[in-house]
Structure 1
Amino acid sequence: MDNKLCSNPPNFDGSTLSNTLFWEIPNLDNNACEAVSNFALFYRPPGQEAFDFGNPIYTGPDTFFVHQNLPEFAPGLRSQAGCYVVIAIDQSSNQSLPSNEVCQDNCLYFELPNVITVNGDGRNDTFIPCPNPLYVEQVDFEVYNRWGNLVFEREDTIQIEWDGRDRGGNEVATGVYFYVAKVRFLSIDPAKREKSFRGTIHVVRSQDQN
């Protein structure tokens, strides 16, 4: 499979992503090599436990395939995450055992700022991921004051959009607050699917900027 390098933050056209795969005929005797007439390639996306061997994404004689039209994760963003196996088929339609499994993952990205300026000018008035997160399925977000009291929480979100108010809708005082963001990613790797981000938020209001 083609190698994919993830920059920080990732920079790519998410609408045109594809996976390119190559494979070889096993080192068999000449007669066996000549008997291989086709290959069948199978794809398993994240969350699917087993390959569907009745539904190949490619069948043919070539030893490469460009997997385009990948599943769409969000508008304009396709998911590269998934695993592949290939099966060789001889002229009598006998099939080999599946090859070794190869997998590709998404370029996961989530970053939060450390300050919001709540002054109503439409710039940086809310606490949101910046730049846009990639392949984030869900965020559970909590804000605490310096005494460890829960000030704000929001579950099953992505953009968070905290406007500097507490759970009762009251403006919080200027100062430093602490957050915990539990993030769930779309990843083929179970170890990367969940990650907790912890940090501080400095809330600045208009009167503090004069």
Structure 2
Amino acid sequence: MISKTKLRPLPALVLSSVFSVLNNFPRFPGSESNARTLSAYYLGLSLRRVEDLFHVPKNTVQYYWRKLANYFSPPSCSGHYAVDETKIRVVNGLLYWLWVVRDLNTGKVIAVRLSKTRSGLDVILLFKGKRIRLEKTINILPDGGPWYNKLSTLGVKHEHVTFGKKNLVEQVVRSLKLRLANMDKHFPPNASKGSIIRWGKAFFTLFNLFQQGE
């Protein structure tokens, strides 16, 4: 279990980055403890546990977590990416696919998309809809799913890789699954598609900041 003590050695650069993002929010009280609070939730503590440890109302944590989604987009893309998809479940039985694109040079997650299907059209919308730079792109496809063949219609060079660089995007998916494991691997029954993607963008905002601080 994550404890308050274990959160103390978090890299100062990470907390500073989280704090600088939060400081752009209206009514932000301006303290490092709030950055630690969100970091604790990101690392797996429940909202109730965060409230008990840091004495911050869970509604406040949820408010700033949702705001983090607005700061998801990184400033630039290198043109070399890894892509993967994973299942996202809701208590009421709904199943979504979460698509993740990670920049191979910067290590940052640069695009996420949630869909009810897993198809070639979803792949096209993932890249074209997010306006990812595709010139001279090499997409590493860890599972070789046939839906990725649609990339050829975009004139994109891509290849199926089963080791090495494919681990970069699998690390992202593993981090997400570990976090969801503390939520019983599903979202509550009242979770909408929009709220799930906002939660994911907030998670990857902090993921990118933690990469910066390593």
Q: Which structure has the highest strand share of the two?
A: 1
The structure with the largest alpha-carbon Rg is: 1
Give the structure-2-normalised TM-score: 0.23
Q: Larger relative CO (CA 8 A, sep 6+): 1 or 2? A: 2
